Structure 1
Amino acid sequence: MDTLAEAESRGEYTTLDASGLAVGIPAGVMGNSEVGHFTIGTGRVAYQDLVAINLSISDKALASRPVLVDAFTTAKSKTGRLHFLGLVSDGGVHSHIDHLEALLAAAKEASVPQSFIHFFADGRDTAPVSGVQYVGRLQSYLSSLQYGTLATLTGRYYAMDRDKRYERTKLAFEGLVKGEGERVTPDNLIQKMEERYSLSGKERQTDEFMKPLIVEDAGTIRDSDTLIFIDFRADRMRQIVEALGLKPQFQTDAIPRDLSVYTMTQYKGEFPFPVIFPSDTPKNSLAEWLSAKSIPQLHTAETEKYAHVTFFFNGGVEEAWPGEDRVMVPSPKVATYDLQPEMSASGVAKEVVKAVKSGKYPFVMCNFAPPDMVGHTGVYDAAVVACAATDVAIGEIQRACEETGYVLLITADHGNAERMIDEDGNPVTKHTTYRVPFCVHGDGCKLLEVTHDPGLADVAPTVLAIMGLDQPPEMTGQSLLATPN
């Protein structure tokens, strides 16, 4: 990482807290792309959905949430069949198993006749073959609760695709609706998962890549059933929710009619579904503040991270602000990104260099996907290539900034590729809680000798200080710039 190393040697370098309370999630919990971009783009720490839902459970207020009460009432008045769908783990990035357990208890208390669980296996934000632990925990909970049925299990690679790979979504959909998949029983489900773990080569299936396992045929989704999607993170729920709640983007001969769909949080502005935990859109994000001052801006990333430089960076706002242009560079069409670890870093860099040299945009921001996306594969050599390709791309942008007088800021929304192997020599596929770099490179720009613990919320105020702009009162972060440019 020559570019970052040079920045550190010039004294243009510090580190930022990108996990836990610094990004509005529980202390000690690793950061993620959603909360990271939200915190960077809004310049403040906002308690994220995970924390809000946890508080609702601990305060015993979950069961009285109006939309959840409505979901239970609807289920009872229609077929009496309620389905919970989502990622089941304690990764805390997209969902949490605690939330599912609390929802099941609330459904039982509300006397919903039948509840079925459609278990999306993790293995990405958790260890690759830890799914059996969560299946075991859920089965024990259902037994003690004496309520609820585990109906299907599918890996998130299929059920939670976000890259318009609709063939993946279709595989998950037809398991949920048609019961297409391998038949198992509650008693041999864990054994079947372990058998798939033990296969070799392309036949091996870890949690993330589990093809549908059908545990209970009666639990498939039928006409007029009620569905609750339990994930609190939006991006990987959109395709499967669209397929079940609106219209599939693929050919299928099985489309359940008259479904009542509820979501834990707002997955997309255009979705008409009731939301159990609606969130207030933060006022005066960096993008909104620049737009209000008629300052043109460009946001760019490849497909895998496009939602992060737009929706999440803008504080959950789907539409671009006036004067905000967006460019999406296609991600490579490969099964897993260790097969093309540089991804589209070069293409993103070209868009940034073009924008900088045009002089049209006083503010340009981008995301480089390779260190995160390839880090998730757990393939060390591929991660090295990914980081090197990203460093080369940043170097190209740095040269363009030096030629045109732009100030370059480099940071990350969370940790990942810096830890690819654990203490036992096993591959690591999840994020980390390590601090992330923050570099500022430009004439007259030096970093403060900070007296507080800097975090991602300090990035947007630093951008505004560099641009000579005032900071909106809603931004609670602090500028890290010693000498405004």
Structure 2
Amino acid sequence: MAKTDQKACLNPPSPSSKPRGGSGVGVSVDVGAGGVFVEAGQQSQDTPGGGAVPSPEQRNPEPQPDYILTLAYIILYLQDGDAITNAETPVMDAFAQSKTGYCELEASSLAVGLPEGLMGNSEVGHLNIGAGRVVWQDVVRIDQTIKEGKLPENDVIKKTFEGAKNGNGRLHLCGLVSHGGVHSKQIHLYNLLKAAKQFGVPKVFIHFFGDGRDVDPKSGADYMEELVKTAGEIGIGEIATVVGRYYAMDRDKRWERVQIALDGMINGKGEESTDPVKTVRERYARGGDKDKDEFLSPIIVGGDEGRIKDDDTVFFFNYRSDRVRQITQLLGDVDRSVLPDFNYPKIKNLVTMTQYKVDYPFEIAFKPQHMGNVLAEWLGKQGVEQVHIAETEKYAHVTFFFNGGVEKVFALETRDEKQDLVPSNKSVATYDKAPEMSADGVADQVAKRLAEQKFPFVMNNFAPPDMVGHTGVYEAAIVGVEATDKAIGKIYNACKEQGYVLFITADHGNAEEMKFPDGKPKTSHTTNKVPFIMANAPEGWSLKKDGGVLGDVAPTVLAAMGLPQPEEMTGNNLLTKA
């Protein structure tokens, strides 16, 4: 697509207030004959630009302005522990002054298809942004099934549990155990135990993945105590393995971590215990950096009896997919080339609560609800070339999740992983050790793509505010936020040079609240609103101030590009043009 000769320019005023919050997602998008780049968490400016976007009828031959979208920050509510406000962020400070290019969006709870009161997350945020509608999440579907008492009627669960009973009588339930609600829910596990009891499964072993990111870093012992008590009341289920999500739920191809988890679950390699609650509390008492739920090295309960063996049935109950893909890939024998010499059992079958990856052969209890005409798909139908850019930690979010939860490259979508997948830093165990992450590299690649004059829609994600926020190390998060601000500045300059309109938003909150009231580190997401910013836009453009949600971003982008909104995209256009 040709780029317009009319280049909107935004000159931020001197800063007097800061954008708030800190979730990390940057998206660059070229839409229509023009591109859109969206940066999560940045705030827009209302400086006049030059030239209006033509109507769809004028798209050929008249070119439109380009646009860019980036995701990275959220609104500030607390001062103490707020790594967004307390960081030096001159670029974002300037954008925060916009009178016409700034509004706030709901990014949690029912507004993004989650249960009421539940904080947003990266997967849900990207789905809603890319789909242009409220996407009702799998967790809501599962919750409703349980509420109606119909979980045992689920065809796959019924088949799986009856198969375990009629096989060797051994069922393994694997997943994250906490009340965080981001990847799993304990109430789901409890109802699976009830179903196993109802179907008469003789032995049920629970492989407990410690959380410590979406909840307090040392809350796992309490969750475990509750699980032990509830399983006793139900009359079935015993903890077999305890291991932190750092190992069991790696998503950055650090296979050596996954091997540690599997060594515990399969081979019994780890600290033996007859009382896992007591053992975990003893780990806490040591006070080391690794003595927290996320980093728990394997604890083996019940000796060899609870290991995953030949002919056993395995059920993973996480409903969020990205962090259980690697472990199920290996255990389910999808591709073991990364750990070919490991002693894998010949399990009967592996079943998952939701679809973890489209090409995985596993049976799925709650099959995906496919969405039509998400933003990336619709742009292809409109003849718009696009590219999505992120570092390794967030690449799935700008591809799989942004594209509607499908492993599909849509028409006119370039996916060159050698360029647009910027490597995350693998030399550190946690990102507080290198909080800048690869933000600068992502910004460089975005600027390069903009300069190519090829992609009307460019989308990117910046990871530091979210990923470093999850470490709970406040000082490191400040460094990550500052690095992101510099990267945003680099992209903003490229937008001005190349004639792009810049949109900025976030998928959820995080780094704006890094301490609990008692001063303890907070590593979880928040329910705070996120900013939605428009910068370098033509004169007379403004964003509606009230009532917006993440699902309104895509319709707004389409309106800015002069493109029609598909009927499946039920979000609202927040853009007004004078």
The alignment's TM-score, normalised by the length of structure 2, stands at 0.82
- Counterpart contact for 1:245–1:259, Cα < 8 Å: no
Q: Partner residue of 2:163?
A: 74
Indicate the larger mover: 8-17 or 268-277. Answer: 8-17
Task: Provide the rounded CA distance (Å) in 2 between the counterparts of 1:262 and 1:190.
Answer: 28
- Counterpart contact for 1:122–1:131, Cα < 8 Å: yes
- Counterpart contact for 2:103–2:543, Cα < 8 Å: no
1:251 to partner: Cα distance:
4.5
- Counterpart contact for 2:308–2:345, Cα < 8 Å: yes
Indicate the larger mover: 317-326 or 335-344. Answer: 317-326
Please say if 1:230 is aligned against 2:317. Answer: yes
Counterpart pick for 1:262 among 321, 328, 351: 351
Q: Partner residue of 2:10?
A: none
Task: Provide the rounded CA distance (Å) in 1 between the counterparts of 2:292 and 2:216.
Answer: 9
1:447 to partner: Cα distance:
2.5
Q: Secondary structure at the match of 2:149?
A: coil
1:325 to partner: Cα distance:
1.5
Q: Partner residue of 1:435?
A: 529
- Counterpart contact for 1:461–1:471, Cα < 8 Å: yes
Task: Provide the rounded CA distance (Å) in 2 between the counterparts of 1:4 and 1:458.
Answer: 22
Q: Partner residue of 1:331?
A: 424
- Counterpart contact for 1:88–1:95, Cα < 8 Å: yes
Structure 1 residues 77 and 254, CA gap change in structure 2 (3 angstroms) = same
Task: Determine which structure has greater relative contact order: mean sequence separation of CA pairs < 8 Å that are 6+ residues apart, divided by chain length.
Answer: 2
Structure 1 residues 66 and 223, CA gap change in structure 2 (3 angstroms) = same
Counterpart pick for 2:265 among 176, 185, 208: 176
Counterpart pick for 1:241 among 318, 328, 335: 328
Q: Partner residue of 2:13?
A: none
Q: Which aligned pairs between 1:96-135 and structure 2 lie closer than 5 A? A: 96-135=185-224
1:211 to partner: Cα distance:
0.4
Task: Provide the rounded CA distance (Å) in 1 between the counterparts of 2:331 and 2:193.
Answer: 21
Which amino acid is 1:449 matched to? K
Task: Provide the rounded CA distance (Å) in 1 between the counterparts of 2:548 and 2:329.
Answer: 39
Same amino acid, percent of matched pairs: 52
Please say if 1:309 is aligned against 2:398. Answer: yes
Please say if 1:447 is aligned against 2:535. Answer: no
If each structure's helix is expressed as a fraction of its own residues, which one has the higher value?
A: 1
Q: Deviations over 1:372-408 (max 9, x none)?
A: 0000001111000101110110111111111111110
Please say if 1:216 is aligned against 2:305. Answer: no
Please say if 1:4 is aligned against 2:92. Answer: yes
Task: Provide the rounded CA distance (Å) in 1 between the counterparts of 2:544 and 2:256.
Answer: 52
Aligned length: 480
- Counterpart contact for 1:303–1:331, Cα < 8 Å: yes
Task: Provide the rounded CA distance (Å) in 1 between the counterparts of 2:227 and 2:103.
Answer: 43
- Counterpart contact for 1:116–1:150, Cα < 8 Å: yes
Q: Partner residue of 1:89?
A: 178
Q: Partner residue of 2:104?
A: 15
Please say if 1:472 is aligned against 2:566. Answer: yes
- Counterpart contact for 1:226–1:259, Cα < 8 Å: yes
Q: Deviations over 1:43-71 (max 9, x none)?
A: 00021011110000000111100011110
Q: Secondary structure at the match of 2:193?
A: helix
Q: Deviations over 1:74-115 (max 9, x none)?
A: 212221101100001111100000000000001100111111
Q: Partner residue of 2:137?
A: 48
Q: Partner residue of 2:29?
A: none
Q: Partner residue of 2:283?
A: 196
Q: Partner residue of 1:32?
A: 121
Please say if 1:57 is aligned against 2:151. Answer: no
Q: Deviations over 1:331-367 (max 9, x none)?
A: 0011000000000000100111011111100000000
1:448 to partner: Cα distance:
3.4
Q: Secondary structure at the match of 2:236?
A: coil
Which amino acid is 1:214 matched to? I
Q: Which aligned pairs between 1:269-418 and structure 2 lie closer than 5 A? A: 269-326=358-415, 327-333=420-426, 334-418=428-512
Task: Provide the rounded CA distance (Å) in 1 between the counterparts of 2:234 and 2:297.
Answer: 28
Q: Secondary structure at the match of 1:393?
A: helix
- Counterpart contact for 1:173–1:243, Cα < 8 Å: no
Q: Secondary structure at the match of 1:283?
A: coil
Which amino acid is 1:325 matched to? T
Task: Provide the rounded CA distance (Å) in 1 between the counterparts of 2:185 and 2:347.
Answer: 28
1:259 to partner: Cα distance:
2.8
- Counterpart contact for 1:38–1:312, Cα < 8 Å: yes
- Counterpart contact for 2:543–2:575, Cα < 8 Å: yes
The alignment's TM-score, normalised by the length of structure 1, stands at 0.97
Where structure 1 has 5 or more consecutive residues not aligned to the other structure, the ranges are none
